[in-house]
Structure 1
Amino acid sequence: EGYAFALQLYPHGRNSSPYVNYMGITFHLCSSPNDGLLEWPAGHRQVVLSVLDQDPDVIHRMSLSRSFTTDPNQLVYGKNDTLQWDKPSITGSFSSFCN
């Protein structure tokens, strides 16, 4: 469709999270040349995150997959007037992960 997403991996968690010693994965929208052609907010888009355990012993593997669907009405935490999945140039800030 043309939407650009980025993933960020935190192997030891984020300092701002109560789960500092746990791995964290986040995904977010990035600006792209297609932004002017796309429908905003980017609602009802599905993202599937999978973490594969490559333990040599199949019995001990503990892979994990999670599916997320973006909610077009979800607000940015702490900003009651900003939609989470609106155009990145409106809702976000610069992220070097999107380059």
Structure 2
Amino acid sequence: MESAVHAAVPLRVGKKMRKRRELDALVGVGSRGGRLLSASSDEGEPWGRRTSRRRRSRPFFRLAAALALCVCVVSAATVLWLFVDVRRQIVSLRIDMDRVVNIKN
């Protein structure tokens, strides 16, 4: 759906309210879309305020996404390092066990 195309069609108030009720019934009052429709005014573009609110909240989501990415990378590197360290310890213990077995024989 393109929001850049806007046609100014004069509507009567009654017809506009009927369309609004139909949209509310289709979307559902309790859903996210219902909140957006109820927050908009009948004058002007109903999506005008939502766009500006979205732009203000983007840095928070970008920061949260970057933080989540950093946490994932650090945790993956830590798990990999621990895996390699455990493998080294197992190899070292096997060498020590072989040395002890060879001394007893």
| TM-score for both structures, normalised by structure 2 | 0.18
Say which structure, 1 or 2, has more relative contact order (CA 8 Å, 6+ apart). Answer: 1
Query: Which one has the largest radius of gyration?
Result: 2
Determine which structure has the larger strand proportion and give its number.
Answer: 1
